[in-house]
């Protein structure tokens, strides 16, 4: 039995359909992110799980017990869940330790047990030395640690996070997403994390559910999601990619300016008619003279249209000499090519994902 199950969840505001027959199940201790652009329904889904709004249709179950349906819902305070908001929502008039202990005090736990659990939690989030400070004396990252400690100390059955890092700068976001994953590994609390940032979702999650227009388009582990996207939306939203189309004949897949034997493509025997593939910029390689693997992998002549140096890599735009479809290719910093230069482009057909 799943820890948390969303079955055919739907939410309408008037005539506007925000969440459309969403299905999702989480196992005990699993970390799942809802990833998607603004307006795709991910925060509305989280708020239905928390009990702040009722679904228009469908049900939400926790440990096999009904939490929400169109007929009514269990109140948020009786769900045994903790939620962390984008704004941190720490109490400004309480010290760090008072913020962390607040939820325990509401549960009629003894003072000794409160002190014990609060002290241990402050150690876990590395905030013991700041226990007597007020939120106004803390950085954004430190306030987020307080919010995490307050949410975790009550030992919730499910932890909900609504874009908790969006107010932090880039370096702090990277630090805190690692911290969130570390805390998950320690406590193994079933977690749902809402974000529009693919790096956050990929770095923290066991599985990522990509949402678009109120529906989940694909749910998979981060590696599968990136390397084997099932739809054009997923391929384009999770990282950068090239979309290339082909027409399949008896033996070959004919692309713009080159062709590949169908047998070299994953599931090539079943392909027919016009087909679209996704291939990532880092899955291709540029060179001056081609490689010795000619005949084993596709190698085509291209010309450099544009380039940008991004520190960790070069970003090249190239055009097949025999075609008219531009491609994006990344290359290591030492591989410097000029605009207008003729090169060879090599790629592995197994890195091409068939999308619908």
* Span 245-288, pLDDT tens digits: 999 887 888 888 888 888 888 777 778 889 999 999 999 999 99
Euclidean distance between CA atoms 203 and 220, whole angstroms: 14
Contact present, 266 and 292 (Cβ < 8 Å) = no
pLDDT in tens, 38-58: 999 999 999 999 999 999 999
CATH topology of domain 29-54+68-229: Rossmann fold (3.40.50)
Rounded CA-CA distance 182/169 in Å is 20
For the 240-355 domain, the top CATH level (class) is: mainly beta
How would you classify the pairing of strands 4-13 and 16-26?
A: antiparallel
| Cα-based distances in Å from 134 to 9, 127, 131, 151 | 40, 12, 8, 18
Residue 284's pLDDT is 92
Q: Domain segments of the chain: what residues?
A: 29-54+68-229, 240-355
Please report the DSSP string for 156-185 in residue order.
-SEEEEESTTTTS-HHHHHHHHHHHHHHHH
| Higher-pLDDT residue of 249, 132 | 132
**Of 192 and 143, more confident:** 192
pLDDT band for position 86 (cuts 50, 70, 90): confident
Residues 60 and 237: their CA atoms lie apart, in Å, by 28
d(CA 138, CA 97): 13
- Report pLDDT digits (tens) over 182-233: 999 999 999 999 999 999 999 999 999 999 999 999 999 999 999 999 999 9
Both tokens of 143, joined, read: 């306030």
Specify the pLDDT at position 260.
Answer: 85
Encode pLDDT of 111-124 as tens digits. 899 999 999 999 99
246 pairs with which residues across the strands?
275
């Amino acid at each position: 039995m799943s820890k948390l199950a969303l079955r055919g969840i739907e939410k309408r505001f008037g005539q506007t359909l925000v969440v459309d027959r969403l299905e999702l199940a989480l196992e005990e201790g699993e970390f799942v992110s809802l990833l998607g652009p603004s307006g795709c329904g991910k925060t509305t889904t989280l708020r239905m799980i928390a009990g702040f709004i009722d679904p228009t249709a469908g049900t939400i179950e926790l440990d096999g017990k009904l939490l929400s349906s169109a007929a009514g819902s269990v109140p948020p305070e009786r769900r045994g869940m903790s939620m962390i908001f984008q704004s941190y929502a720490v109490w400004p008039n309480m010290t760090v330790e008072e913020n962390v202990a607040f939820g325990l005090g509401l549960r009629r736990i003894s003072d000794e047990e409160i002190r014990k659990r609060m002290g241990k939690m402050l150690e876990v989030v590395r905030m013991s030395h700041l226990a007597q400070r007020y939120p106004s004396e803390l950085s954004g990252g430190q306030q987020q640690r307080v919010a995490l400690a307050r949410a975790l100390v009550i030992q919730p059955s499910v932890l909900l996070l609504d874009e908790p890092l969006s107010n932090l700068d880039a370096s702090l976001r990277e630090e805190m997403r690692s911290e969130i994953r570390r805390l998950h590994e320690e406590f193994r609390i079933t977690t749902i994390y809402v974000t529009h940032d693919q790096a956050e979702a990929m770095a923290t999650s066991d599985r990522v559910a990509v949402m678009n227009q109120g529906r989940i388009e694909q749910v998979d582990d981060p590696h599968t999601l990136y390397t084997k996207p099932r739809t054009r939306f997923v391929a384009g939203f999770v990282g950068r990619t090239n979309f290339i189309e082909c027409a399949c004949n008896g033996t070959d897949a004919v692309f713009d300016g080159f062709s590949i034997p169908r047998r070299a493509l994953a599931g090539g025997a079943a392909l027919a008619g016009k087909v679209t593939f996704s291939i990532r910029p880092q899955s291709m390689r540029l060179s001056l003279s081609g490689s010795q693997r000619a005949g084993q992998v596709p190698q085509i002549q291209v010309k450099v249209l544009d380039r940008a140096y991004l520190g960790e890599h070069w970003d090249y735009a190239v055009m097949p000499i025999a075609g008219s479809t531009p491609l994006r290719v990344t290359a290591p910093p030492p591989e410097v090519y000029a605009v207008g230069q003729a090169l060879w482009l090599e790629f592995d057909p197994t890195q091409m994902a068939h999308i619908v």
